[in-house]
């Protein structure tokens, strides 16, 4: 009977597991691994948003000069939608670290990068449309000016 009444000096059972979890498992926070994953996302999003502002300013200047920008404006509206999707994907990836139940943002990071690439591609198509519109406007203006000089 004395054998079964030995005190639990090694803390077997739940106490051992709790000590193991507290020592080796820790809450995921903004450590260097997560910063290495998430910081480039936030930087890329900031750069794409800056490009979007510049494209909008360029379109406004061309519209003010009288260039027909209906196609680039339509493309810019769709680019704004893809940019909003990218912003949401980056926000989801960063919230996995700061939420109540944090975890590593690997899958969300891949989705955010693909959304950023889509928004970059849509902004590139807007820039191509701007170049085409400006070229068309300058070619029609140049021929009409040239025709006036010849007469």
Catalogue the long-range contacts made by 143-147 (C-beta closer than 8 Å, 24 or more residues apart): none
Cβ neighbour number for residue 91 with a 10 Å cutoff: 14
Note the helical H segments in 65-105. 70-98
pLDDT in tens, 102-134: 676 778 888 999 999 999 999 999 999 999 999
Does residue 124 contact residue 150 with C-beta atoms inside 8 Å? no
Distances (CA, A) of 54 to 5, 57, 105, 128: 78, 5, 31, 14
Cβ neighbours, 10 Å, residue 146:
9
Which residue's entry shows tokens 């909003």? 84
Percent residues over pLDDT 70 in the chain: 64
CB contact at 8 A, 102 and 96: yes
Give domain status of residue 48, yes or no: yes
pLDDT digits (tens, 9 = 90+) for 31-56: 566 677 788 888 999 999 999 999 99
pTM greater than 0.85:
no
Do residues 9 and 62 make contact, with C-beta atoms less than 8 angstroms apart? no
Q: How many domains does the chain have?
A: 1
Placement of tokens 């750069």 in the chain: 47
Which residues span the domain enclosing 96?
30-150
**Assigned domain for 1 exists:** no
Determine, yes or no, domain membership for 69.
Answer: yes
Paired tokens of 30: 């903004």
In a domain, 41, yes or no: yes
8 in a domain, yes or no? Answer: no
């Amino acid at each position: 009977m004395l054998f079964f009444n030995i005190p639990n000096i090694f803390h077997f059972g739940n106490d051992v597991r709790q000590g193991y979890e507290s020592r080796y498992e820790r809450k995921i926070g903004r450590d260097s691994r997560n910063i290495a994953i998430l910081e480039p996302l936030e930087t890329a999003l900031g750069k794409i948003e800056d490009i979007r502002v510049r494209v909008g300013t360029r379109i406004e200047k061309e519209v003010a000069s009288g260039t027909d920008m209906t196609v680039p404006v339509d493309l810019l509206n769709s680019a704004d939608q893809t940019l909003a999707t990218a912003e949401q994907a980056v926000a989801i990836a960063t919230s996995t670290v700061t939420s109540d139940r944090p975890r590593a943002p690997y899958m969300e990071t891949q989705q955010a990068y693909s959304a950023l690439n889509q928004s970059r591609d849509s902004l590139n198509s807007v820039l191509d449309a701007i170049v085409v519109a400006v070229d068309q406007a300058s070619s029609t203006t140049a021929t009409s000016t040239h025709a006036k000089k010849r007469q």
